[in-house]
Structure 1
């Protein structure tokens, strides 16, 4: 999703985070690149030994994001994900490392969140018109059918072989693919010796180290109900942050406005919270767990810190919540 309006990175370029010039040292040449990948704006910031080395590292990170996108997107018939969906109920598919990794993680996060996160929501996304345009909201019978397809979905993994035994199963990596891509991009940066970097894919972000002289990369989480205001400001160091909200990517059916994050249990777009932001050890975890928190209205296991905006059980919920650890 496009989360640009719900997150800001404070400070960039050659200035310190308090407006004071950063004292330069070895590997402290600041480099940044703006680009486009995974259908969203991408911002890469890092410190390197030279401008050339920094630009090369940025290019490698962007190339990795685009490579992952080509494998896992639902909007290119040649992608591995689309091929797997075509195999549903028919044949076993041999999956490459990326597809196997994402499916393994998706199964894990589904279990951790009690089903609040589920990559099998594609039938609901389609029913509500997010994948195929439609002129009216789905009827109750159509939603029941889509919800049944989600509930019956099973992903069988055996080494490099993957099978979707139910012909109605269709997967959508919208709640995990960007996070996985960011983690892969960070891996490319680390392989090039980068020890201070920040990757932002339209609001899903992750950090390596921190800017010189700082405790972490400073990030502001915007208040979805009050323009120009923030819920919190936090620092990221060797961690990731993701925000899920049903206020950015929406479809309107007359007076009905629906967001794109689906609740697998009800078949309706998630309504427990207006916005959920989480910090986790990896971008993949932050992506999936922020989705689950928006759906369930509570913090799932694996979250380091979280902030919410919205109503849960009639009570306003804002601010940081408990700390947990991502299971090994």
Structure 2
């Protein structure tokens, strides 16, 4: 069995695709098809192009319903289901709020309460109406949706589905550490993903063998801000309009890249206690959290996956 790799930048992230097949020609074709599928989804979902479906929906916020392709309608439907499941900790309308808390700027200043209150008026997955005939309506003026927390996972799932339909018995799609893998490496061993060490992100703290699963990590060891003696993460709780207490990273393993992507964000917002309680109720979903003090907290069944 042959395997071929491709590194490229798509959806604002570094993607690595590993295709396998009987011949080099097959793996080359699969890589090409994988890239074009991700590009197609990026054009559909991006907020940086006025002709994208997302931009068309946002342009009509507070106004008329927008007819959209079935694919995007179904994606929004699944996003709203995850929002319901996580009690609003994951919310595709939260971007308006995140812009206020841009910790990347050197001179970050805490936003005024009035600005937060104003942003909160434009947020809430419950104001995203899924209507008949594949129409979406954002019910409030100023509402904006974006798929930053789930788009890469969705793209990875789509590439996997295409490759499997083409007969691929194994493969990897890795979007900046959010990794989907199935089958085995050409040498017969499992694909593996490393969980970064909190004090040296170049080193792996744990290795997870990944077989027919997707692993997503939400976390940035650098991005936090201190206020009143409390460290806050760069992740914002869309229900409160406030950054969440600092957790170094959350890694979620599940059967779907889209689900892993969204749940990694949600568990970060929910915190270890509530987040793990949710994960432990979901079939085939596992989680590893590294808190602000480097404590590693694992969901009930992750032990069967984790290797030191």
Normalising by structure 2, what TM-score?
0.85
Aligned length: 293
Check 1:264–1:35 CA distance in 2 against 1; reply closer, same or farther (3 A cut).
same
Q: Which residue of 1 aligns with 2:270?
A: 296
> What's 1:318 paired with?
296
Shift of 1:265: 2.4
Greater alpha carbon shift after TM alignment, 31-40 vs 302-311: 302-311
Distance in 1, Cα, partners of 2:152 & 2:141: 26
Q: Compute the displacement of 1:119 (Å).
A: 0.8
1:190–1:114 Cα change, 3 Å = same
- Closer/same/farther in 2, CA of residues 143 and 247 from structure 1, 3 Å limit: farther
Is 2:282 aligned against 1:309? no
Distance 2:104 2:73 in 1: 24
Tell which has more relative contact order, 1 or 2 (C-alpha 8 A, sep 6+): 1
Q: Which residue of 2 aligns with 1:37?
A: 10
Deviation, 1:232, is 1.3
For the pair 1:121 / 2:94, whether they are aligned, the reply is yes
2:144 corresponds to: 170
Indicate yes or no: 2:261 matched with 1:287.
yes
Q: Are the aligned partners of 1:223 and 1:309 in contact in 2 as well (CA < 8 Å)? A: no
Question: What are the Cα deviations for residues 68-109 of structure 1, in whole angstroms up to 9, with x where unaligned?
Answer: 111111122221111101111111101113311220111110
Give the CA RMSD over aligned residues. Answer: 2.9
Structure 1's 248 and 161: CA in aligned 2 closer, same or farther, altered over 3 A? farther
Instruction: Name the one with the larger strand percent.
Output: 2
Which residue among 230, 236, 242 is the counterpart of 1:268?
242
- CA positional deviation for 1:149: 2.4
Distance change in 2, residues 1:152/1:201 (3 Å)? closer
Most deviating of 47-56 and 163-172: 163-172
Deviation, structure 1 residue 266:
2.6
Spell out the pairing of 1:1-328 with structure 2 (5 A cutoff).
28-129=1-102, 136-151=109-124, 153-158=126-131, 159-212=133-186, 214=188, 216-247=190-221, 260-297=234-271, 298-299=275-276, 300-301=278-279, 302=282, 304-311=285-292, 317-323=295-301
Please report how far the alpha carbon of residue 227 of structure 1 lies from its aligned counterpart in structure 2 after TM superposition. Answer: 4.2
Closer, same or farther: CA 92–280 of 1 in aligned 2, 3 Å: same
1:231 positional shift? 2.8
- The Cα shift of 1:222 comes to 0.5
Contact 1:248 1:259 in 2 (8 A): no
Where does structure 1 lack aligned partners over 5 or more consecutive residues?
1-27
Unaligned runs of 5+ in 2: 303-308
